[in-house]
């Protein structure tokens, strides 16, 4: 590894200009990461506000806080915003943008201006969606099931679909940029088998973004055509078939679930290695597992449709493949655990998040086995069991990993350190809040409470109150980092280039890095995570 | 706890417990190891950290192969139970279910109709043939551990054999609009004699059966003008048709199940019977879903009437071998 | 947009940041085009999936719908587009040999054929319009009470419309490529024309699939 970058001090990318114009017209991947960070934080706040109202409403069995219509719009808003405007861009567009060039020893992504364009497209899509929300909202659920969405809903379906459609191109372009960058801009000596696992997971994510998102695009076009022109595509009254919609939608949306978890796995691999000062156990297997998950992820969409009217044999095949997709996930968990063995483990904030990720991802993954088991799925699908399952993966997994990664690379991004104690408090709060929010929901689902219920039978109230109580703790867990991270921007102690004593090219440049990242392009001579016994003493 | 209103429900719960067992067997050791390693190898502790193998292959093979085998075992067990859910017995009681925003309607073969409540006899298999008049709904009875989406424009089906008399919640599980969460009802499981009593009170009788009412509709819609029993009309005789294979133009055969009969009435240009001209007008928009069920019940009665190998005594009602639950 | 600071590479040749040399930049551009084309495959894949789904559901209706199209016009258009691909290939070859004028000529030929394709496509749409085969906008007796035939035309217009948009974008790309090629110093070492060629051939191939499944169903 090179230390050339440390020899002469350069102004950091943050000092390269502080006008609004210098930010809005930047092509520096590190600044674009910040553009995403700020915007998705706003979207997270909007989606979180909707979730807050939902949990408040569900405190009582009656629909006493908001009307049926409003409730339906709230959970649709929550789903649409959180999926497309927070989770999908979260780790890739913020941490990925910041780190891909730094980790492979490049000056930027392959197409810096395209990268900025992705952000503008994202903003445009977000603007359409927010416009739809402000002008009355949409009540179809984020799944847009037909014929409800095309023929029956009286809300702003097309406008929302346009927003999601536009945003899709942002994620396609980001994926394209990452794939090309990883193929062509790796520094001399940075072979594929020396890539940090974060990049393997982003590579797999990018493949999914690039291959699945266009199918969503065409599906949304078909929805808009049916709704506007009133011609049959999915509506059986006009000769169409709503099951085709579900196939097309889940052909995108199931792989999209992996867009929302693979990057989190990558972050966890980085953190586990850095905080146990050990090379990730079974590096090659963990890397290949990412690709296996991405590829298998394209073959299991039908498990969302076990009670939708698919044929018996289709259900068998999708059930079997769904069991199989659990294997590479299990392999990753075992390897992370094994990495800790004989490590030198520091339970700093990022590591706490990573451990929470492993625990919650394990629970989320194992509860997937219930849903792959056909008769159990028949009982619990479309209930709170499913709600709890995917929130465990996406919130317990991805959001936790995102925050872990943000803490881990915060000193690199800002040059400052956040208050460690507050960080640990927030991580523990978040874990406890999460558990209390979503574990009761598994029970609710098993007991038969369907999802998207505005009013519910009184026997479910106790569990719902527990869940809402957990949500308020969870909210504190999310609010804390927002406060102390922002505060650390001014008052935090200076970090230095490598505050964690971690390996990896990103830690060889100053914090924050200069605009071109590396004074000279480094030459890589060792594998990833080349921690030695001396590092652990 | 959630009541088990059928033997099937108990078997689903047993499977649920088995899956839970596997989850505990995998999850708990992982959590324990995570905690143990974090404590034992905490930075600053004086402990031997040297000598971790770089030959990870045996480990990787072990923890890939073992979960794979277990997953296959789980799949086989789950699929076996699921297969029983998809094969209703021949002698099932046929109930026609029509739903719309936000209401469930049930028609018993012997005549009684009910809304948002379904009375069934204990111990007898009940098969629901279902369709929706508007958007997708999903009929969900938690106590029976069964659920099936109900789609517009096609039939899906569901069967159960409730064993414990009682009253159980029925809910809509597929989001269907404003009052989705209020689209509920009850399933009342009665002892057989109680069911018979309930039927009598509900007006069951020879003239009010679905098939008898279907015969009236068959004349009112003018079907009987062309589909004469002697086969000399413009359309084929429907004796012995429903539930049997029909020859199509082009040499194909198709099973005249509910899905086919439905399409033959609503989309007659498709799959015309061999030897007949496609002259039948479509009845789409003229005949409601409830009436369609009534008509189908009559067609099934005709289908059994002349069928040479109609073995079991007829139960009256809609439904034949397999509603159109599959992909088109 | 601020111009990125040029950074001299080892080779000394100029390449845009972040590339070390023109070869790497060339490689990245090709990779990007292939990734882009794979997204296009998936986009059209969705349309093909819808087509197959409904054709499987009601083959007879799709055959009836297909028979209502103007097959000769479709055949002529296939020939036009295939010829344009040949012209494109010749343009790429001429450019690779450093022959600027023939390359520009073939590019222009490709663009003209592309425009011809679009003109013929408009003619065939007009044919459908006059016969009342346009769902929602101008649906006549041929579509009355035949939802599955109407569905065929819905798929037909979405597929051909989406494809025509791609041809139009391709003609635009040809114009931009031609304008750049006219100014570039050394056409033989200039690769964007290859990428335009890849895109053009892709659009052509999509039509090669669309033509039989729309026009030749029996």
Question: Which string of DSSP letters, residue by residue, matches C134-178?
Answer: ETTTEE-GGGTT-HHHHHHHHHHHHHHHHHHHHHHHHHHHHHHHH
Interface contact C43-A218, CB threshold 8 A: yes
Report chain C residues whose CB lies below 8 A from the CB of A239.
147-148, 150-151
Q: Lowest-pLDDT range, A20-34, A106-120, A350-364, B244-258? A: B244-258
| Nearest CA among A285, A346, A332, A295 for reference residue A500 | A346
Alpha helices in A260-311 (DSSP H): 262-276, 283-296
* A217 chain-C contacts, CB cut-off 8 A: 43, 46
Instruction: Flag whether pLDDT at B8 surpasses 60.
Output: yes
User: Which of A193-202, A280-289, B300-309 shows the lowest mean pLDDT across its residues?
Assistant: B300-309
Token pair 């204990």 in the structure block, residue: B122
**Burial class for B222, CB neighbours closer than 10 Å (0-12, 13-18, 19+):** exposed
Tell whether C150 lies on the interface with A, counting CB pairs under 8 A.
yes
Give the mutation candidate from A114, A165, A227, A232 for the C interface (greatest C CB count, under 10 A): A232
To the nearest whole number, what is the mean pLDDT of chain A?
Answer: 94
Among B269, B284, B328, select the one facing C57 at the smallest CB separation: B328
Residues of B in contact with A310 (CB under 8 A): 326-327
* CA–CA dist B158, B87 (Å, integer): 9
Task: Please state which of the ranges A62-66, A435-439, B99-103, B200-204 shows the lowest mean pLDDT.
Answer: B200-204
Other chains touching A, judged by 3 or more CB pairs under 8 Å: B, C
Quick check: pTM over 0.90?
A: yes
In this predicted structure, what is the pLDDT of residue C12?
43
Question: Are the Cβ atoms of B269 and C147 closer than 8 angstroms?
Answer: no
Interface of A with B in 370-399 (CB under 8 A): 370, 372-376, 378-379, 381-383
| Residues from chain B contacting residue A363 (CB–CB below 8 Å) | 27
Residues of B in contact with A312 (CB under 8 A): 83, 86, 326
Interface touch C49/A239, C-beta < 8 Å: no
Name the pLDDT band for A536 (thresholds 50, 70, 90).
confident
Nearest-angstrom CA–CA distance, A137 and C89:
50
Q: Are A344 and A536 in contact (CB under 8 A)?
A: yes
- Pair type for strands B117-121 and B184-190: parallel
- Asked if residues C203 and C83 have their Cβ atoms less than 8 Å apart, the reply is no
Alpha-carbon span A447 to A450, nearest angstrom: 9
Set of chain A residues whose Cβ sits within 8 Å of the Cβ of B142? 379, 447-448
Q: Which residues in chain B have their CB less than 8 angstroms from residue A273's CB?
A: none
Range B133-150 average pLDDT: 96
Q: Give every strand in the sheet of B93-100, ordered side by side.
A: B113-115, B103-107, B93-100, B126-132, B156-160
Kindly list the residues from chain C whose CB atom is less than 8 angstroms away from the CB atom of residue B282: 145
Question: Hey, are the CB atoms on B75 and A72 less than 8 Å from each other?
Answer: no
Nearest to A407 by CA among A471, A468, A353: A353
- Nearest residue, CB atoms, B282 vs list C57, C60, C145: C145
| Res A46 pLDDT > 80 | yes
The DSSP symbol for C2 reads P
Q: Does A184 touch chain C (CB under 8 A)?
A: yes
Q: Which chains does chain C touch, 3 or more C-beta pairs < 8 A?
A: A, B
**Structure-model confidence comparison of residues B320 and A306, the more confident one:** A306
How much is the pLDDT for A9?
63
- Chain B neighbors of C58, CB-CB under 8 A: 267, 270, 328
Q: For residues A452 and B140, is the Cβ–Cβ distance under 8 A? A: no
Angstrom distance (rounded) from CA C215 to CA C218: 9
* pLDDT bucket at B285, cuts 50 / 70 / 90: confident
CB contact under 8 Å between B23 and A366, yes or no, is yes
Task: Please answer yes or no on whether C60 and B282 come within 8 Å at the CB atom.
Answer: no
Of B38, B154, B180, the CB nearest to A236: B154
* Residue to substitute from B153, B259, B270, B271, interface C, most C β-carbons within 10 A: B270
Residues of C in contact with B267 (CB under 8 A): 58, 147-148
Q: How many CB pairs under 8 A join B and C?
A: 18
- Judge: B177–A148 Cβ closer than 8 Å, yes or no: yes
Angstrom distance (rounded) from CA B263 to CA B205: 30
Span of A439-448, B234-243, C37-46 with lowest mean pLDDT = B234-243
Model confidence pLDDT, tens digit, residues C66-120? 999 999 999 999 999 999 999 999 999 999 998 999 999 999 999 999 999 999 9
Q: Which residue has the higher pLDDT, A309 or A401?
A: A401
Nearest to B81 among A375, A456, A536 (CB): A375
The answer to whether residue C189 scores a pLDDT higher than 80 is no
**Residue A172 CB contacts under 8 Å (≥ 6 apart), including other chains:** A209, A210, A213, A214, C39
Q: Which residue of C has its CA nearest to B250?
A: C60
Contact yes or no for A393/A365 (Cβ under 8 A): yes
pLDDT in tens, A108-153: 999 999 999 999 999 999 999 999 999 999 999 999 999 999 999 9
- A238-273 tens-digit pLDDT: 889 999 999 999 999 999 999 999 999 999 999 999
Nearest chain C CA: its distance from B295 CA (Å): 22
Pick among C49, C53, C55, C58 to test the B interface (most B CBs inside 10 A): C58
Find which of B269, B285, B286 to mutate to test the C interface (most C CBs within 10 Å of its CB): B269
Could you report the per-residue pLDDT of C2-31, keeping only the tens digit for each?
Answer: 334 444 333 345 778 888 888 899 899 999
Task: Please classify residue C86 by burial: count the beta carbons closer than 10 Å to its beta carbon, then call 0-12 exposed, 13-18 middle and 19+ buried.
Answer: middle
For residue B322, give the chain A residue with the closest CA.
Answer: A311
Whether B279 contacts chain C with CB within 8 A: no
- Inter-chain CB proximity A457 and B169 less than 8 Å: yes
Q: Touching check for B253 and chain A: CB below 8 Å? A: no
Chain C positions touching B327 (Cβ under 8 A) are: 53
Q: Given this model, what pLDDT does residue B243 score?
A: 87
C28 CB neighbours in chain A (<8 A) are: 110-111, 180-181, 183-185
DSSP-assigned letter for residue A530: -
* Cβ contacts of C147 on chain B, cutoff 8 Å: 267
What pLDDT, on the 0 to 100 scale, is given for residue B97? 97
Residue of A nearest to C162 (CA): A218
Q: Answer yes or no: do B267 and C60 touch at CB < 8 A.
A: no
Residue B72 touches partner A, C-beta closer than 8 Å: yes
- The residue of chain A with its CA nearest to that of C135 is A231
ipTM for the predicted complex comes to 0.92
Nearest to B138 by CA among C54, A154, A238, A145: A145
Contacts of B249 in chain C (CB under 8 A): none
Portion 79-138 of B in contact with A at CB < 8 A:
79, 81-83, 85-86, 101, 134-136, 138
Q: Is B115 helix (H, G, I), strand (E, B) or coil?
A: strand
Q: In this predicted structure, what is the pLDDT of residue C3?
A: 37
Q: What is the mean pLDDT of chain B?
A: 88
Residues of B in contact with A316 (CB under 8 A): 79, 82
**In the prediction, which pLDDT does C1 show?**
34
B114 phi and psi, to 5 degrees?
-145, 160
Q: What percentage of chain A exceeds 70 in pLDDT?
A: 98
A293 touches chain C (CB under 8 A): no
Residue A8 confidence (pLDDT): 54
Query: CB-based contact (8 Å) between B22 and chain A?
Result: yes
Q: What is the pLDDT of residue B314?
A: 40
Q: Say whether residue C158 is in contact with chain A using an 8 A CB cutoff.
A: yes
Segment B167-178 mean pLDDT? 96
Is A180 within 8 Å of C35 when comparing Cβ atoms?
Answer: yes
């Amino acid at each position: 590894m090179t230390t050339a970058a440390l020899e002469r001090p350069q102004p950091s990318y943050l000092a390269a200009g502080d006008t609004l114009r210098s930010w809005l017209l930047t092509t520096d991947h590190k600044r674009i990461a910040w553009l995403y960070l700020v915007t998705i934080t706003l979207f997270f706040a909007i989606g979180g506000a909707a979730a807050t109202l939902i949990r408040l409403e569900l405190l009582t069995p009656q629909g006493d806080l908001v009307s049926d219509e409003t409730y339906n719009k709230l959970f649709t808003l929550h789903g649409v915003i959180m999926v497309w405007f927070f989770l999908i861009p979260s780790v890739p567009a913020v941490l990925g943008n910041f780190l891909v060039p730094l980790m492979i020893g490049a000056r930027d992504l392959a197409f810096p201006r395209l990268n900025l364009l992705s952000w503008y497209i994202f903003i445009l899509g977000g603007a359409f969606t927010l416009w739809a929300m402000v002008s009355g909202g949409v009540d179809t659920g984020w799944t847009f099931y037909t014929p409800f969405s095309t023929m029956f809903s009286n809300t702003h379906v097309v406008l929302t679909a346009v927003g999601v459609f536009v945003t899709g191109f942002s994620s396609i372009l980001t994926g394209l940029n990452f794939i090309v960058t990883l193929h062509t801009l790796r520094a001399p000596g940075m072979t594929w088998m020396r890539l940090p696992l974060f990049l393997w997971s982003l590579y797999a994510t990018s493949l999914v973004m690039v291959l699945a998102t266009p199918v969503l695009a065409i599906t949304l076009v078909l929805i808009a055509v049916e709704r506007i022109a009133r011609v049959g595509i999915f509506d059986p009254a006009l000769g169409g078939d709503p099951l085709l919609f579900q196939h097309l939608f889940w052909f995108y949306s199931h792989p999209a679930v992996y867009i929302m978890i693979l990057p989190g796995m990558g972050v966890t691999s980085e953190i586990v290695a850095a905080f146990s000062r050990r090379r990730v156990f079974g590096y090659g297997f963990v890397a290949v597992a990412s690709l296996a998950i991405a590829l298998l992820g394209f073959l299991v969409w039908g498990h969302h449709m076990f009670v939708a009217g698919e044929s018996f044999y289709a259900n068998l095949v999708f059930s079997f493949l769904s069991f199989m997709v659990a294997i590479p996930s299990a392999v990753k968990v075992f390897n992370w655990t094994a990495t800790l063995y004989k490590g030198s483990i520091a339970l700093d904030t990022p590591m706490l998040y990573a451990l929470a990720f492993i625990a919650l991802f394990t629970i989320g993954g194992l509860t997937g086995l219930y849903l792959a088991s056909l008769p159990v799925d028949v009982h619990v699908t479309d209930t709170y069991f499913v709600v709890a399952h995917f929130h465990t993966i996406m919130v317990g997994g991805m959001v936790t990993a995102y925050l872990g990664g943000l803490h881990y690379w915060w000193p690199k991004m800002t040059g400052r350190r956040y208050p460690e104690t507050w960080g640990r408090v927030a991580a523990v709060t978040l874990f406890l809040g999460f558990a209390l929010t979503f574990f009761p929901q598994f029970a609710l689902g098993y007991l038969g409470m369907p999802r998207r219920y505005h009013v519910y039978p009184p026997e479910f109230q106790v569990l719902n109150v527990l869940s809402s109580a957990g949500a308020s703790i969870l909210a504190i867990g999310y609010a804390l980092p927002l406060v102390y991270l922002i505060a650390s921007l001014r008052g935090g102690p200076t970090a230095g280039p490598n505050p964690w004593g971690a390996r990896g090219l990103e830690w060889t440049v100053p914090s924050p890095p200069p605009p071109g990242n590396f004074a000279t392009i480094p030459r890589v001579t060792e594998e990833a995570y080349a921690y030695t016994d001396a590092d652990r003493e | 706890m959630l009541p088990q209103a059928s033997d099937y429900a108990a078997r689903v719960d047993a499977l649920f417990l088995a899956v839970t067992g596997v989850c505990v067997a995998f999850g708990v050791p992982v959590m324990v190891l995570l905690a143990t390693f974090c404590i034992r190898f905490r930075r600053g502790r004086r402990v031997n950290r040297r000598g971790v193998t770089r030959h990870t292959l045996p480990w990787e093979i072990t923890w890939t192969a073992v979960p794979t085998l277990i997953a296959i075992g789980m799949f086989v067990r789950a699929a076996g139970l699921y297969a029983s859910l998809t094969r209703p017995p021949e002698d099932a009681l046929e109930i026609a279910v029509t739903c719309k925003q936000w209401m469930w309607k049930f028609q018993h073969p012997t005549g009684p109709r009910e809304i948002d409540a379904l009375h069934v006899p204990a111990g007898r298999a009940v098969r629901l043939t279902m369709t929706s008049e508007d958007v997708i709904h999903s009929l969900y009875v938690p106590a029976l551990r069964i659920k099936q989406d109900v789609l517009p424009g096609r039939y899906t089906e569901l069967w159960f054999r409730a064993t414990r008399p009682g009253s159980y919640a029925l809910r809509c599980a597929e989001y269907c609009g404003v009052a989705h969460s209020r689209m509920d009802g009850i399933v009342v499981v009665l002892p057989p004699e109680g069911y018979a009593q309930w039927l009598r009170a509900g007006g069951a009788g020879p003239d009010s059966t679905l098939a008898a009412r279907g015969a009236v509709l068959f004349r009112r819609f003018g079907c009987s003008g062309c589909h004469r029993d002697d086969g000399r009309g413009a359309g084929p005789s429907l004796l012995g048709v429903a539930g049997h294979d029909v020859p199509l133009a082009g040499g194909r055969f198709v099973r005249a199940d509910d899905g086919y009969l439905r399409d033959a009435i609503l989309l007659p240009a498709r799959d015309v019977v061999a030897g007949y001209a496609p002259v039948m007008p479509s009845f789409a928009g003229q005949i409601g879903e409830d009436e369609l069920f009534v008509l189908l019940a009559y067609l099934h009665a005709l289908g059994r009437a002349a069928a040479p190998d109609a073995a079991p005594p007829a139960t009256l009602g809609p439904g034949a071998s397999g509603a159109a639950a599959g992909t088109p | 947009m601020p111009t990125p600071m040029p950074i001299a590479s080892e080779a000394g040749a100029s390449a845009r940041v972040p590339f070390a040399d023109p070869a790497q930049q060339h490689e990245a551009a090709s990779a990007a085009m292939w990734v882009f084309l794979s997204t296009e495959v998936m986009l059209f894949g969705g349309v093909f999936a819808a087509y197959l789904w409904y054709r499987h559901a009601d083959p007879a209706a799709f055959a009836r719908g297909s028979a209502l199209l103007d097959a000769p016009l479709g055949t002529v258009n296939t020939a036009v587009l295939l010829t344009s691909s040949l012209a494109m290939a010749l343009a790429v070859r001429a450019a690779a040999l450093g022959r600027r004028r023939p390359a520009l000529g073939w590019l222009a030929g490709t663009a003209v054929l592309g425009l011809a394709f679009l003109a013929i496509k408009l003619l065939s749409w007009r044919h459908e319009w006059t016969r009342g085969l346009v769902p929602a906008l101008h649906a006549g007796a041929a579509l009355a009470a035949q939802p599955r035939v109407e569905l065929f035309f819905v798929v037909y217009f979405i597929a051909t419309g989406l494809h025509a948009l791609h041809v139009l974008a391709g003609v635009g790309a040809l114009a931009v490529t031609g304008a750049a090629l006219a100014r570039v110093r050394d056409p033989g070492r200039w690769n964007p024309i290859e990428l335009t060629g890849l895109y053009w051939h892709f659009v052509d191939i999509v039509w090669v699939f669309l033509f039989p499944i729309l026009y030749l169903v029996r």
